[in-house]
Chains A and B, each alone.
Chain A
């Protein structure tokens, strides 16, 4: 098979996979590049998906089936050594793959390289990487998947568990001013899952304000309070320490009652946010596309989306935090725009 395609898709997360599928339906030949050994992106790491709690593995299985098409060449463990505009039209990328070096060309590029989870160790005051009982949302998903929350909580059937919202989001000091959008809903979802597993548990959510913006999200929030008795405390956790039993002591202020609180916990879960993928800067840099000051790729138009640059398109969280359905939607839209572009409609929107 030759190495010329209509579209190179960078990143086989939900955005890249969905776009590849949509394009294949249009008969457009794509090369789907994934740097990891498996397709799936962050979906691989999650256990259940809000708001309904569907299994991520099922969703991923469905998506993987859809990209089994003659029009899609999927290359995993692919490293992009260089990517640039060819003389004339189209683009050229040099790859290092498991089968050695390879050069591929295409008329268009779809950037779907996704996000990077904020490194919670950077907020050292929360003690991630220092105290064993402090974990992140991603770690907790993994514990749920492997049924091993006990490895942190121990035998205690009446544990106290805390969730800290906005870790590395809405935080200028951490270099991220933006809201990550998905972590409020994730925290509520995970808090309920803890209560499912430990009905006697006391669960706290420390939030600045709750952004339950999506359809049915508010229902989740009500259910969390009414059915599960989760305690929502409005206020930032100021610092975290360990007591002599190696349990976690979190200090915060309840800004609604104006009182300081100090709570001893068996597990503290940090809601790490969606930060930009530093790879995207390298990719856009060689394609002369801009990134915003927050690190995410800049849209050409704040309403119609897409980027400046002929034949270059984006989908998913590389342009900012998005939920899974939003990501899927944008991938479909990108496929339609690429189809139009290849048919001679140069209007990006």
Chain B
């Protein structure tokens, strides 16, 4: 191989080079900005992660599988996965093999940015190139074909999203369109450009056959330059548009993965890590189909992708806020997101900005330790239950709010492993906290008491005569500071009780106790875990009937805490399990979620109906849930009887 063009340069490479220089400078500047805005602890974490071999290995593995092969999308939707994989991986291979080719045949040109990209234009194929070149030519054409097939699907998907099995797709912005058309153009132009010079520069099966077909019609030397210009310009436009379009996710996602693996999380919705999350959103739209708000008229506009888009492009404050406030915080979109963007946390952080600079509320209802058990209603402080709440003025000691908010992690803490001391766990003293919600569903707390008694457990009922809210509703509303004072009080009560296991009926409480309380050695169990343990260890015996029971995975218990199997085991011990059409990670929110601040009851009822339809899939006799809020919400609208799993067990007890 040798230079066909003296000096190995032509002006047409300028658009490409300019675009490349721009995007590199932009990315570096942005990255510095993001790092500067992060808390210093996070910067430390990042530095440490860069020298930690375990994290380095994980970074490489994750980047390969998520950014190039798109394994997560593949698993959820093979056609869509192929589309992403073929473009990303194909393009990546073109760049890698292109550089290898240059390194092999023209090593002195490797330092120029453009040479490997426009290789075929600049070289003259000589007879001595041998089979190595043929292999390179084949590989290059193979991966180009792969990319082209992906682009083909992408073009098709734009017009008919159902082709890849999606009901809805995002509405692209003009800027996205420009970048998109540039991207679509790059690869066909590359093929034509390479085919046009295949006579001199060589080419694989694709380029060569096109060359043979068009060369009789087109005298080579005259017409090739404009095509190479077009190819370079399309690359240039794409690079220039990158920061202003959704395609910024291509360079960002790898960085996001590294930051996430370093243990960094969003601390607010607008700067630092959250910017990485915003830029990493490919607006693939998988969160739209996942979102139960699409069952509400106009609800689709509240999907996470539009929230992120608003954050990123500074969409009107009011609409960003209305999306953040409408969200049920069911986390379904987070489970569906192939990039793993925690959009719920971003929304929560966005909401919490409202509380900055506001004086701490004086919660008169927080009693002093001495007066516990409180003699007053225990639903106060739960902002979602205002109509039931006792807004009580003064007269009780006001709890200090010194305790700093501990924030909410997206992952549950690993608490003392359940398996080790399994056999004696059920001999220990237990404390049962029913929570505000369960106070409104006495069938659940009564069933729990029956179960405790049948199993012969020494237990105390922490809030039989009224207790405090666990703090989670305040956190969901973004008010971490006031939640901290509730957490402090409850911790004191539990610690002085002498119990070794804390049993909770409400998944909302359960999640917050696991993540935001520090209870030392006290084991925290949801009643599904606890009851399942009682059954498995033989402490209670239950009758099995022929009834078909559909199990609803409550958002906070399933997606929130990863508990899917224990309730299913219990149900299978009491009857036949009938699965919902959308279950486990895809379970539809019951509609009663405390997460939404603004959805009306009418709108929520649409979500409830959708969930009930999904549950009716296996034509069950009853619907069983494991959350007092789901129980209440379904109870209002369901034609089938609805009960809590504790009730199912209590009514089937043999001892």
Q: A residues bordering B, Cβ < 8 Å?
A: 122, 124-125, 127, 130-131, 172-175, 236, 238-242, 251-253, 258-260, 262, 293
Given A174-B636, A262-B376: A125 and B440 interface contact (C-beta under 8 Å)? yes
Contact yes or no, A173 B636, CB < 8 A: yes
Q: Give the distance in Å from the alpha carbon of A258 to the alpha carbon of B395 in the complex.
A: 12
Shortest Cβ distance from residue A168 to the other chain B in the assembled complex, whole angstroms: 9
Given A125-B440, A125-B442, A172-B601: A260 and B387 interface contact (C-beta under 8 Å)? no
Contact yes or no, B379 A122, CB < 8 A: no
Contact yes or no, A124 B441, CB < 8 A: yes
Contact yes or no, B601 A130, CB < 8 A: no
Contact yes or no, B632 A124, CB < 8 A: yes
Given A239-B377, A253-B391: A173 and B440 interface contact (C-beta under 8 Å)? no
Q: Give the distance in Å from the alpha carbon of A192 to the alpha carbon of B389 in the complex.
A: 30
* Chain A, residue nearest B441 (CB): A124
Residues of B within 8 A of A127 (CB): 442
Contact of A251 among B377, B393, B464 (CB under 8 A): B377
Residues of A within 8 A of B388 (CB): 125, 236, 238-239
Contact yes or no, B389 A130, CB < 8 A: no
Residues of B within 8 A of A172 (CB): 600-601
Q: B residues bordering A, Cβ < 8 Å?
A: 375-377, 379, 387-393, 439-443, 446, 464, 466, 600-602, 605, 631-632, 635-637
Contact yes or no, B636 A130, CB < 8 A: no
Contact yes or no, B377 A253, CB < 8 A: yes
Contact yes or no, B635 A124, CB < 8 A: yes
Residues of B within 8 A of A241 (CB): 439, 442, 464
Contact yes or no, B442 A262, CB < 8 A: no
Residues of B within 8 A of A174 (CB): 636
Residues of A within 8 A of B631 (CB): 124
Given A238-B388, A262-B375: A122 and B635 interface contact (C-beta under 8 Å)? yes
Beyond the given pairs A125-B439, A260-B392, A262-B376, 15 more chain A to chain B contacts, judged by CB atoms under 8 angstroms and listed by A's residue number, are A122-B635, A124-B440, A124-B632, A173-B632, A175-B601, A175-B605, A236-B388, A238-B389, A239-B377, A242-B442, A251-B377, A252-B377, A253-B377, A260-B377, A262-B375
Residues of A within 8 A of B601 (CB): 172-173, 175
Residues of B within 8 A of A258 (CB): 393
Q: Give the distance in Å from the alpha carbon of A343 to the alpha carbon of B446 in the complex.
A: 63
Contact yes or no, B637 A175, CB < 8 A: yes
Interface majority SS (helix, strand, loop, mixed), chain B: loop
* Chain A, residue nearest B601 (CB): A172
Shortest Cβ distance from residue B288 to the other chain A in the assembled complex, whole angstroms: 27
Residues of A within 8 A of B636 (CB): 122, 173-175
Contact yes or no, B446 A130, CB < 8 A: yes
* Chain A, residue nearest B385 (CB): A238
Q: Give the distance in Å from the alpha carbon of A277 to the alpha carbon of B523 in the complex.
A: 49
Contact yes or no, B442 A124, CB < 8 A: yes
Complex A-B, nearest 6 residue pairs according to Cβ-Cβ distance, in ascending order: A125-B440, A172-B601, A238-B388, A251-B377, A260-B390, A124-B441
Residues of A within 8 A of B390 (CB): 238, 251, 253, 260
Shortest Cβ distance from residue B485 to the other chain A in the assembled complex, whole angstroms: 20
* Chain A, residue nearest B445 (CB): A241
Q: Give the distance in Å from the alpha carbon of A254 to the alpha carbon of B375 in the complex.
A: 15
Residues of A within 8 A of B637 (CB): 175
Contact yes or no, B379 A239, CB < 8 A: yes
Q: Give the distance in Å from the alpha carbon of A239 to the alpha carbon of B463 in the complex.
A: 13
Residues of A within 8 A of B443 (CB): 124, 130
Q: Give the distance in Å from the alpha carbon of A205 to the alpha carbon of B466 in the complex.
A: 23
Q: Give the distance in Å from the alpha carbon of A37 to the alpha carbon of B347 in the complex.
A: 58
* Chain A, residue nearest B389 (CB): A238
Shortest Cβ distance from residue B594 to the other chain A in the assembled complex, whole angstroms: 13
* Chain A, residue nearest B605 (CB): A175
* Chain A, residue nearest B592 (CB): A173
CB-defined A-B contacts under 8 Å, sample of 11: A122-B636, A125-B442, A173-B632, A239-B377, A239-B388, A241-B439, A251-B377, A258-B393, A260-B390, A262-B376, A293-B602
Q: Give the distance in Å from the alpha carbon of A253 to the alpha carbon of B379 in the complex.
A: 12
Residues of A within 8 A of B446 (CB): 130
Residues of A within 8 A of B439 (CB): 125, 239, 241
Contact yes or no, B376 A130, CB < 8 A: no
Residues of B within 8 A of A173 (CB): 601, 632, 636
Q: Give the distance in Å from the alpha carbon of A242 to the alpha carbon of B602 in the complex.
A: 33
Q: Give the distance in Å from the alpha carbon of A172 to the alpha carbon of B599 in the complex.
A: 12
Q: Give the distance in Å from the alpha carbon of A65 to the alpha carbon of B388 in the complex.
A: 48
Interface centre among A125, A240, A262 (most CB of B within 10 A): A125
Residues of B within 8 A of A125 (CB): 388, 439-442
Residues of B within 8 A of A240 (CB): 442
* Chain B, residue nearest A175 (CB): B636
Q: Give the distance in Å from the alpha carbon of A173 to the alpha carbon of B633 in the complex.
A: 8
Q: Give the distance in Å from the alpha carbon of A127 to the alpha carbon of B390 in the complex.
A: 19
Shortest Cβ distance from residue B574 to the other chain A in the assembled complex, whole angstroms: 20
Contact of B379 among A238, A259, A262 (CB under 8 A): A238
Contact yes or no, A236 B387, CB < 8 A: yes
Residues of A within 8 A of B392 (CB): 253, 259-260
Residues of B within 8 A of A238 (CB): 377, 379, 388-390
Residues of A within 8 A of B387 (CB): 236
Contact yes or no, B442 A131, CB < 8 A: yes
* Chain A, residue nearest B637 (CB): A175
Contact yes or no, A260 B442, CB < 8 A: no
Residues of B within 8 A of A252 (CB): 377
Shortest Cβ distance from residue A238 to the other chain B in the assembled complex, whole angstroms: 4
Residues of B within 8 A of A293 (CB): 602
Residues of A within 8 A of B393 (CB): 258
Shortest Cβ distance from residue B347 to the other chain A in the assembled complex, whole angstroms: 24
Residues of B within 8 A of A259 (CB): 392
* Chain A, residue nearest B447 (CB): A130
Q: Give the distance in Å from the alpha carbon of A260 to the alpha carbon of B396 in the complex.
A: 12
Shortest Cβ distance from residue B290 to the other chain A in the assembled complex, whole angstroms: 26
Residues of A within 8 A of B442 (CB): 124-125, 127, 130-131, 240-242
